[in-house]
Amino acid sequence: MSVWNPLRLRDLAGIGLLKDESSAITALEYLPTELFPPLFMEAFYGSHRETLKAMVQAWPFVRLPLGGLMGGLMQMSHVETLQAMLDGLDVLLAQRVHPRCKLRVLDLRMTGQDFWSMWSGSNVHVSLDSLRAPVPEGSSETGHPFAPLEVFIELCLSDGTLDGFLTYLMSWVEQRIGSIHLCCKKLRIFSVPTENTQKILSMIQLDCIQEVEVICNWHPSTFSMFAALLGQMSNVQRCLMSASEEQEQQVVVQFTSQFLRLQHLRDLHLESSFFLEGCLDQLLRYLTTPLDNFAVTHCLVTGSDLMHLSQCPNISRSKGLNLGGVTLTDFNPELLQVLLEKVAVTLQDLDLNQCGITDTQLESVLPALSLCSQLRSINLCGNLLSVAVMGRMLRRTTRLPSLCQAFYPAPQESYSSQGLPLKERLANIRAELLEILRDLGLPRTIWLNSIPCAPYVYNEYAHLEFIEYTPF
């Protein structure tokens, strides 16, 4: 049986008003503030572009979360609608002041659904005052009547050409660069920068970026160009860099020195960064703030690099430490022991996946590991460990109150001399480990990887089996 949901009187009034766009535009002068969003939605989905153009000029809120209606910048069908609204903004920018308009932020990100949901009737508990209040997301001058209009977008720059929506928007911003601040909180680059990429980066307010993610294989000159831009991203909180191309020493120095300017950095992840081998101390020297999370993964590092890492004061309060894919087999285990002791008070997540750690090394760091009272998860997959050492590991960490995720490799004994998995032997090992958990008498779940160690070949999470003990 179908449920009949009749349109509300307000919706019917909006539909009726939009049948004559000239009348709708005239009525905006007298339209109550609370009726603007529902009428705007009706005009948007009905493609009443002249009405939208006029409504933008009289928008009674600080923010227009347009991306929440458009579904992001990739919707080609909205290019003409965007053009109409930007034409309306042109009139607004030329007038500089409007008797009713409070618009300071045009948000084209996929956010703002709560705003539109509230005005569509699904959430009636949002106060009108909270929607009128300025949003301190961009520059401190946003509330000034002559301040540039802030346009927020999401940017993911890849090898493909720019879509029509973004191409039109960038052209519009470029012609009004003095009146528009183009803002992007999260920047992702998955390509070799083209002329278009560099042009877009030159138009963005770099100090608005809070997260930057770059996966690249750049020529030294390109990397040098980006290093200079990174230094201008002064409000970056999270930075992920994955670069496999070896760089000249001069470029390494230029890149690492930029971190001196990143005084809000909290999360740093460097992946496949071969150029950091023997130079990690340069990067650590330029860190100006304590990091919540630090990751150096699939990188070549030296014993000197690990020593400097264990001595870095801005790593000592980290909650997350990830050395996945960093080969530690030939290193003195004391270096890792000192590092763990350094972060023991705050460490919550430790990833030592595919590090080639041996039994002797793990046993050496167990005392330091047992001091990590806040530890929630540990990943030891991809290491060469025996059943005996894994048992000792379970016993030494059983008193860590927050430890809820532990990932282990299938022990060495579960493989033949040719490296083939022995299913029956692995089943017996599972039973041995479960018995250890029973002896400990505490509820515990561990995850066991069932395939051989093979760095860079497999996803360590794809073949996990859990062993769980729950006392009655």
From CA 76, how far away is CA 79, in angstroms rounded? 6
**Token pair in block for residue 333:** 């285990």
405-437 pLDDT, tens per residue? 899 998 988 888 777 778 888 889 889 998 998
Map tokens 């860079």 to a residue: 456
Q: How far is CA 428 from the centre of its chain?
A: 41
Which pLDDT value is given to residue 454? 46
Q: Is the CB of residue 412 less than 8 Å from the CB of residue 383?
A: no
Amino acid at 112: G
Which pLDDT value is given to residue 200? 86
279-312 pLDDT, tens per residue? 888 899 999 999 999 999 998 889 999 999 999 9
Q: Is the CB of residue 213 less than 8 Å from the CB of residue 187?
A: yes
CA neighbor of 189 nearest in space, from 248, 230, 137, 130: 230
Mean pLDDT within 325-340: 93
Which pLDDT value is given to residue 128? 42
From CA 464, how far away is CA 406, in angstroms rounded? 11
The confidence band for 127, taking pLDDT boundaries of 50, 70 and 90, is: very low
What CATH class is the domain 324-472? alpha beta
Question: What are the backbone angles phi and psi of residue 43, rounded to the nearest 5°?
Answer: -70, -35
CA neighbor of 42 nearest in space, from 136, 116, 140: 116
Is the pLDDT confidence value at 369 over 70? yes
32-56 pLDDT, tens per residue? 888 888 888 888 888 888 889 998 9
Q: Using the Cα atoms of residue 40, residue 45, residue 49 and residue 53 in order, give the sign of their dihedral.
A: positive
Which pLDDT value is given to residue 285? 92
Which pLDDT value is given to residue 144? 53
The confidence band for 14, taking pLDDT boundaries of 50, 70 and 90, is: low
Which pLDDT value is given to residue 291? 97
> Where along the chain do its domains lie?
9-132, 324-472
Name 16's Cβ contacts closer than 8 Å, sequence gap at least 6: none
72-112 pLDDT, tens per residue? 444 556 678 888 888 888 888 887 655 667 889 999 888 76
Q: Using the Cα atoms of residue 293, residue 298, residue 304 and residue 306 in order, give the sign of their dihedral.
A: positive
DSSP 272-311: S-GGGTTTHHHHHHH--S--SEEEEES----HHHHHHHHH
Which pLDDT value is given to residue 264? 96
Which residues on adjacent β-strands are paired with residue 204?
182
The confidence band for 471, taking pLDDT boundaries of 50, 70 and 90, is: confident
Amino acid at 147: A
Read off the pTM.
0.84
* 3 state DSSP class of 261: helix
Whole-Å CA distances, 281 to 255, 260, 264, 308:
13, 13, 20, 6
Can you give the C-alpha Rg of the chain in angstroms? 28
Mean pLDDT within 449-453: 65
Element (DSSP H or E) covering residue 162: none
Which pLDDT value is given to residue 12? 52
Neighbour count for residue 394 (Cβ, 10 Å): 18
From CA 259, how far away is CA 231, in angstroms rounded? 7
Q: Is the CB of residue 365 less than 8 Å from the CB of residue 336?
A: yes
Q: Inter-axis angle of helices 333-343 and 303-311, to 10 degrees?
A: 20
Which pLDDT value is given to residue 349? 97
CA neighbor of 322 nearest in space, from 282, 292, 293, 342: 293
CA neighbor of 400 nearest in space, from 431, 354, 446, 361: 446
Which pLDDT value is given to residue 48? 86
CA neighbor of 415 nearest in space, from 407, 400, 405, 425: 425
Question: What are the backbone angles phi and psi of residue 471, rounded to the nearest 5°?
Answer: -70, 145
Is the pLDDT confidence value at 143 over 60? no
Q: Which of 110-124, 163-177, 255-269, 277-291 has the weakest average pLDDT?
A: 110-124
